[in-house]
Amino acid sequence: MPRFVVHEHFASHHHWDLRLELDGALMSWAVPKEPPLKSGIRRLCILVAPHDLSYIDFKGTIEEGEYGAGKVEIWDKGTYVMETRKDNKMVFVLQGKKLKGRYTILRFDKAGPNNWLLFKTKEEHKIDK
């Protein structure tokens, strides 16, 4: 199963980095506010350069003067299942310690090609008859 990690990044601007293992790399978004743990919360996320797969286990300090300087901690990690993957929309089910359930990430072109919206999708409940 593909893996994901969310890094909490204490850089010049405190943020989180959502990274999904995809196509041999970690597709990555910077999330200015804590990723949503429940439905009804939407978070802006900015697509950044893909990271090497080895970065999935990284935690530590990036030295001053380097790109992303600051302390990096693993906020959550686990595996996921991709349900839908299109150029401007992905739907996936995260199986982490904090992030659990179906999430959607949408690109909204009017705000720029790197701006996406992340939210937890309400779970559908089956009605037994």
Lookup: tokens for 36: 């949503």
Ordered by start, the domain boundaries in the chain are 3-120
Residue 79 identity: T
pTM: 0.90
In tens, the pLDDT along 9-27 reads 999 899 999 999 999 999 9
According to the model, what pLDDT value does residue 118 have?
Answer: 97
In tens, the pLDDT along 23-50 reads 999 999 999 999 999 999 999 999 999 9
DSSP state of 38: S
Angle at the Cα of 95 (from 104 to 125), degrees rounded to 5? 65
In tens, the pLDDT along 57-76 reads 999 999 988 888 899 999 99
Kindly list the distances between the CA atom of residue 58 and the CA atoms of 3, 51, 55, 65, 75, in Å, as whole numbers in the listed order. Answer: 14, 11, 5, 18, 11
DSSP state of 24: T
